[in-house]
Structure 1
Amino acid sequence: MRVLILRCGDAPLPDDLPGTVLDLPAVPGRRNLKLLDDAAANLLPEDPTPTLDEISAQPDVPHLATPGPAPQAEHLPEALRTVVVGGDAALSAVLTRMMRGDYLWAEVGFVPVGESAAARSWGLTGADAWQVALNGTVRPAPLIRSDLGIALAGSATIRAWDDGEFTGEIIVDDHVLVRHEARDGVRFDGVFGARLVPMVDAPGIAAVRATEPETVSLTWREKIARRLSGSSPLDADSLATGRAVQAGGPSLAVAIDGVRHKRPLERVTFYRHLRDLQVVRP
């Protein structure tokens, strides 16, 4: 097995790591990941399996069921395992590059640095992340992407650009999660968009309504009241799952793994990609 360890940022590394270690920016770009592109191309110069266009033309849509192993595996001289050391934004950048290069057959391990929604989704909380990443087995999971061409690693939010109450609609498959028009002066216990996370099984996406703005500042009385009531900035009862999430509104703020899109959008879609991730996880 060929191992590439991508240290995104300045996280400390254990001694005597196998494979090749690449020191990259905290959120690597396409040029930073060229060696990953080259490693994939070296192992599989031509992909003999069905293309994305051929998969999408299949009438039975088997790729949208339980995630499965990559069909390219039997054509590889050896496995390629990429271990990402960094935050969720770094993992998103690497998955995005793999998706765009169409080599999602490569195995992906993750050693989280700091708070990580992806680590929770992949069951890495409390685990020895290095042990799992280097010695664990692959358990395929759906890859969730946006129509902006960005892979979702841990979590995404769809909110109002000014972080006020949300105006617009958010739909999970055919279920209306949010349909709302903003009201003046609402600070919390309103409708402030939605948070979504990738699942490790079909259908692929879980989403809930947000009941507070991201930048809400509570008074001490409000903090005590919320602590006593056990309330959350997310409406757990609104949970919906599906293969796709579509949102529309006059001015949407879309953030993927903590990276906010540079300008407001009127619509955005998150959906399950045609190929699955080959995730190394417990």
Structure 2
Amino acid sequence: MVILRCGDVEVPAGLPGTVVSLPAIPGRRDLSLLDAAAAELLPEDPTPSLDDIARQPDVEHLTTPALAPQAPYLPEPLRVVVVGTDAALSAVLTRMMRGDYLWAEVAFVPVGESVAARNWGLDEPWSTALGGTVRPVPLIRTDLGIAVAGSATITNWEPGEITAEIIVNDHVLLRHEGREDVLFDGVFGARLVPMLDAPGIAAVQMREPENLELTFRQRLAHRFSGSTPLDPSSLATGRAVQAGGPALAVTVDGVRHRRPLERSTFYRHLRDLQIVRP
């Protein structure tokens, strides 16, 4: 068991395993210890590679999430406990995905507000992390190789309504040209979360910007407008979400991509996440 203390957070005394203190959002070098631990336990992976899986004629690997096929070949399990924010968890999952050792068990103890913890029902995170069992879920990633822990958004790079087309599988979630001076109750993008089962992604339209700042008059109008942050009637599920537009802002677990994008894709990874949850 490796317990990753991400940022200035407290952990109980006397925990089993190794406690490692890392930055609030750890980087690749910070997580090299996980690479080493995985390589020591499984120097060679005898199961089908990602290329092998991609070449399979069926889509069995994209149905109900499954336990890692590497488990029988491990001398002992490797459990990684992440103590931190959703952004910290995203960084750890991204490193594990890129290193291709998602067979490792992942437990999460959230610090602050956490969409991932709500998604997974982590009401007693420490007891679950230390004594819980694995229940696999789909792992959702971007085409830039970033894993989504709790949620992600696709919005306009500049403040205001979005100009874009966003498609979930073959369903058009939105096709919109942004209007000027629309502060709320408009079309501001899409919010997506990983599902617990196939197909993998649930997405809805955003009716308000992510950080809504209004004057007193605007707040009064907003109060009586009946506007809601998300449009539940737009809910769509699928294995992939594709977005295109002149200047898109892609934010994963609160971390915004450093530059605007013209295209972005989220999709279910070929390997499932071995998450410890109730």
- SS in structure 2 opposite 1:278? coil
Contact preservation (8 Å) 1:163, 1:192? no
Q: Does 2:139 match 1:147? A: no
Residue in 2 aligned with 1:281? Answer: 277
Residue in 2 aligned with 1:242? Answer: 238
Residue in 2 aligned with 1:193? Answer: 189
Contact preservation (8 Å) 1:164, 1:192? yes
State how far apart, in whole Å, the 2-side matches of 1:179 and 1:20 are.
Answer: 49
Deviations 1:159-203 (A, max 9, x none): 000021110100000100010011111111111011111111111
Specify whether residues 231 and 204 from structure 1 end up closer, same or farther in structure 2 by C-alpha distance, changes over 3 A only. Answer: same
Deviations 1:93-129 (A, max 9, x none): 00000000000000000000011111111111xx110
Specify whether residues 30 and 240 from structure 1 end up closer, same or farther in structure 2 by C-alpha distance, changes over 3 A only. Answer: same
State how far apart, in whole Å, the 2-side matches of 1:98 and 1:206 are.
Answer: 23
Residue in 1 aligned with 2:152? Answer: 156
State how far apart, in whole Å, the 2-side matches of 1:191 and 1:130 are.
Answer: 39
- SS in structure 2 opposite 1:274? coil
Structure 1: gaps of 5 or more residues: none
State how far apart, in whole Å, the 2-side matches of 1:49 and 1:219 are.
Answer: 58
State how far apart, in whole Å, the 2-side matches of 1:75 and 1:226 are.
Answer: 58
Normalising by structure 1, we get a TM-score of 0.96
State how far apart, in whole Å, the 1-side matches of 2:210 and 2:13 are.
Answer: 39
Out of 165, 169, 172, the residue aligned to residue 165 of structure 2 is 169
Contact preservation (8 Å) 2:184, 2:227? no
- SS in structure 1 opposite 2:165? strand
Contact preservation (8 Å) 2:207, 2:227? no
Q: Does 2:130 match 1:131? A: no
State how far apart, in whole Å, the 2-side matches of 1:115 and 1:219 are.
Answer: 26
State how far apart, in whole Å, the 1-side matches of 2:219 and 2:97 are.
Answer: 42
State how far apart, in whole Å, the 2-side matches of 1:100 and 1:80 are.
Answer: 17
Deviations 1:240-281 (A, max 9, x none): 110000000000001111110000000000000000000000
Report % sequence identity: 74
Normalising by structure 2, we get a TM-score of 0.97
State how far apart, in whole Å, the 2-side matches of 1:219 and 1:114 are.
Answer: 28
Q: Which has the higher strand share?
A: 1
Residue in 2 aligned with 1:104? Answer: 102
- Output the amino acid matched with 1:164: G
RMSD: 1.2
For residues 200-211 of structure 1, what are the structure 2 equivalents within 5 Å?
A: 200-211=196-207
Aligned residues: 278
Q: Does 2:86 match 1:94? A: no
- Output the amino acid matched with 1:69: L
Deviations 1:188-223 (A, max 9, x none): 111101111111111100111011122322344554
